[in-house]
Homo-oligomer: A and B are copies of this chain.
Amino acid sequence: MSNETQASTADLGEAPAAADGELIRSGRDATATRRALVRAARRRFATDGYRATTVRQIASDVGVNVALINRYFVSKEGLFEACMLRTSDELETQASTPSKSIEEVIERLIEHVVNAPDSDDPLQLLLLLRSSGDENADLIRRRTLEHFTRRLAAAAGWRSDTPESEAILLRAQLAIATSLGVVMLRTSAAVQPVASASGDELNEPLRQIFRVLLGRSGQ
């Protein structure tokens, strides 16, 4: 059960991230604790699901008391929202590198799919697709996915108002669905042989799929 992720507390404490203008860290650093909680929570949510994850688990992963989750995020749902917002931000940042060719985008998507099991890739959190019993969380999740879809479709030549490019949007979302399906099999279910397949083995089939979906030949 409590096997990994003990390091999260340590390395977050000693290295203040550059993102936000943080004050000098002291022995008890609220923002660092918050980040550690979000980090641990995202991992748990992505691998175990929303419902199956307990706040006590998350707190234990970080090594702090459970009550801090309610202090900083009000509720479990609030913590989940924070996770989603951070994931959305990361995907946004990565996608905003301008004027990528579709080939480059495909390569990056493949990389995400291949590496997701090992890293705590933001794509992992999107695995939380099923209704988590929380309406607000579901809304955030859906919005994130649709936004990501438009990003990918834009790289494939989608223009927002022409009706014929609706097909491109659909195809982009099928690419995302495929990615999520593969990540799902690799991470949560450990289904063979996909789970243990190397990046090299996955590379060629995935590239074929994405080219068919997003490239000019497929349309």
Interface residues of A (CB under 8 A from B): 47-49, 51-52, 127, 129-133, 138, 141-142, 145-146, 149, 166-167, 169-171, 173-174, 176-182, 184-185, 188-194, 197, 201-202, 205-206, 208-209, 212-213, 218
Contacts and interface: CB of A to CB of B under 8 A. Distances in A.
Contacts of A193: 166, 169-170, 173
Given A182-B181, A193-B169, A47 B174 contact: no
A208 B218 contact: yes
Given A142-B189, A181-B182, A212-B212, A206 B170 contact: no
**Copies of this chain, count:** 2
Given A173-B185, A190-B142, A191-B149, A209 B129 contact: no
A110 B169 CA distance: 19
A19 to B, nearest CB: 28
Contact of A131 (B49, B142, B166, B185): B49
The 5 closest A-B pairs by CB, nearest first: A181-B181, A177-B181, A130-B188, A51-B51, A178-B178
A48 to B, nearest CB: 6
Nearest to A217: B208
